[in-house]
Chains A and B, each alone.
Chain A
Amino acid sequence: MTTFFKELFKKVNRGPWPLIIVLGLLLVGTITVYQSPRSLSAFLTLLLCPMMLYFFQINTKVKIFIGLLLTIVIIPVIGIRNIFYLEVIFQMAVFAALALGLNIVIGMAGLLDLGYVAFYAVGAYTWAIFGSKQLSLLHSIPGAAPAGAPFALAPEWFWLFLFLGTGLAALAGILLGLPVLRLRGDYLAIVTLGFGEVIRVLALNLDKPINLTNGPQGITPIQRPPLPPDFILDPIRNVLAPIVGHEVTDAQLYNVFFYFLALLVIMAAILVARRLEDSRIGRAWTAIREDETAAIAMGIPLVKMKLAAFAAGASFAGMMGALYAANRTFVSPETFSFLQSIGVLTMVILGGLGSIPGVIFGAGAVVLLNIQILQNFSLYLSSLRQSDAVIPIINFAWKDLSNQLDPAKYQKLVFGIILVVMMIFRPSGLIPAERRQRELEKEDPDTSLEV
């Protein structure tokens, strides 16, 4: 099966074919999504385009051009036409940043962290508390908020808190790191799992004695950063309106705005992850993952490097957390459950531990599966249930199908199946990590590999 695909890929990956396929996907995807904004297969076709763009051998400049065309022009336009797709892509970006962060901790440094979503919560609550009316409600009981309480800070403060959230999450990473430094493997996993729960329970219960988090009800409304000034937006509105066929509202512009912000964070995350990976620090992390005793005997300060891994991984989550809080204008402890940590872990393992393109792919695939494919399957089943259709041969009427069988509710099952199947068949993930190849001067060819 895999060899078949490899052969096929090799055959196609030469001459003009890569460019033809990518442009074809781009064109067909764009047109079909534009024509029928509700079709899942059209959307998948479009998503295949960046994937093929990554895998095929195409001139780098052409690659960048097509990539920019797709991310800056096509997706926003399609997103304004069907806001749901922008939402899907935004979620992909959020989880890709989380997966990239977790990949530093697990994939590079080998520290199994099952409470990763806690750092996401730290970032989200940082802006949620300061960017909402919560600071004026510190002494009121949750749910009994007096009307007309003022916002504590102007929305412009978001930009500062984006970085403050990042920093606080990194600090939380170090705080978690300190007590668990001596632990390895399973023990580390259990403690981090506990830490994740501690943060969630804190968010749940810090509504008394002073009402910091508003408890299980969560904090809302949270302010969004202001949109760019009108002299930038007006031309965009004017250009877009005829293309999408209706007036472009501020709500839609906000979605595009957040999409671009998420894209920026992802870009930054990729850059940071790649640059750290290929440096003294990244090598030290890999060495620790491979053999802690040997690493320390090579002069690697274990404490410092592990804390650095926790802090770097957590900071990505913190930044995305703050962005997420502003995007949703609402945070509640429910968002930061253990299942979310497992979800991010699934993305990392599906894509490939330690592999940057891998975990981004993993994030995209799992998000798509969760909020698109499973949902669509649920819808399809319920439409069958309402029809008079009967399964032939066994003579089973669809309408007798139990309501309990709703694929959208089987996230946990799907995560579990993915984890088990990956561990058995492809433990290094769908896009395994590769070590950097260095240029070595050619030596006498006949002595190659002779040692």
Chain B
Amino acid sequence: MPILETTNVVKQFGGLVAVNRMNFTLEQGQIASIIGPNGAGKTTFFNTLTGIYKPEQGEITFNNHKLVGLRPDQVVEHGIARTFQNIRLFGSMTVIENILVGMHTQLKQRGTDALFRNSFFHKEEAEAEKAAKDLMRYVGLRNVGNALARNLPYGGQRRIEIARALAAKPILLLLDEPTAGMNPNETEEAIKLFRRIRDDKGITVLLIEHDMRVVMNISERISVMDYGEKIAEGTPADIRSNQRVIEAYLGRDAATEAQE
């Protein structure tokens, strides 16, 4: 029984079919990647999964729940958290606060609890703060809890985004180009972090990634998209030798040339 299954998902923008009849499955505890040239519809697919876009057709089943038609915040409640391609942190909030925002669905306090500052509120806030600090350390950030998120260097911001997504206690973590713009060292660290997330916490991880070293290194399963459609799927070894993938990435002529 796969944890995530999409059948025939179609997302159109006017005449443009961004995602076309996407059938996709993901097993619990997998680390999988979606690759494809720019504009292939990968991020649009993420946005349909998380409820930001509503697909025109198709079904999305996650953990035995139907997701189509749910609002993004309801999708988060069902256990899908994500990061963004272009980092979207809350810049003028502190690092800790960013992570606390990620915990929104986990916290049970109501407005009245906050107004009367009862013992439940204090307890929950203290626990949340501790959990946020733990998460900060988990992704490798130190002593920056009170810094404004926008003042952190690029690699640090990527880490906060992951910590913020983890704060929602997800079952499935969607990472949209998480190593874009990182140097080789940082990329190495990031790959280790993704593995740890899966190994320690049992969280299923789905990445969109352009860096082939990362994809081939970390993925147990790779799906390739081009023009909104899935054109190939398999283990890294399968994908590496797949003719259609090489064509999609390099163009037909170059592909034939490379073969000769």
Contacts and interface: CB of A to CB of B under 8 A. Distances in A.
Interface stretch (B13-21, B114-122, B204-212): B114-122
Contact of A447 (B100, B125, B142, B168): B142
Interface string A430-449: 00000111101101100111
A83 B71 CA distance: 56
A294 B146 contact: no
B76 A451 contact: no
Nearest to A448: B143
Interface in B145-197: 145-148, 152-153, 155-156, 159, 164-165, 168
Contacts, number: 129
Nearest to B78: A299
Interface stretch (B90-98, B228-236, B246-254): B90-98
A443 B77 contact: no
Contacts of B77: 299
Given A276-B111, A298-B164, A301-B71, A435 B141 contact: no
A438 B115 contact: no
B72 interface: yes
Contacts of A448: 142-143
A440 B148 contact: no
A278 B153 CA distance: 26
B155 A279 contact: no
B93 A287 contact: yes
A299 B152 contact: no
Contacts of A272: 115
Looking at chain A, what size class is its interface with the partner chain? 35 or more
Interface stretch (B1-9, B25-33, B57-65, B101-109): B101-109
Looking at chain B, what size class is its interface with the partner chain? 35 or more
Given A283-B97, A291-B88, A293-B52, 16 more contacts: A280-B114, A281-B111, A281-B114, A283-B104, A291-B90, A295-B90, A296-B52, A297-B52, A297-B72, A299-B72, A299-B77, A300-B104, A301-B71, A435-B146, A440-B145, A451-B152
8 contacts: A276-B114, A281-B111, A283-B97, A293-B88, A298-B164, A299-B81, A440-B96, A444-B142
Interface of B: 50, 52, 71-73, 76-77, 81-82, 84, 88-94, 96-97, 100-102, 104-105, 107, 109, 111, 113-115, 117, 121, 125, 129, 133, 140-148, 152-153, 155-156, 159, 164-165, 168
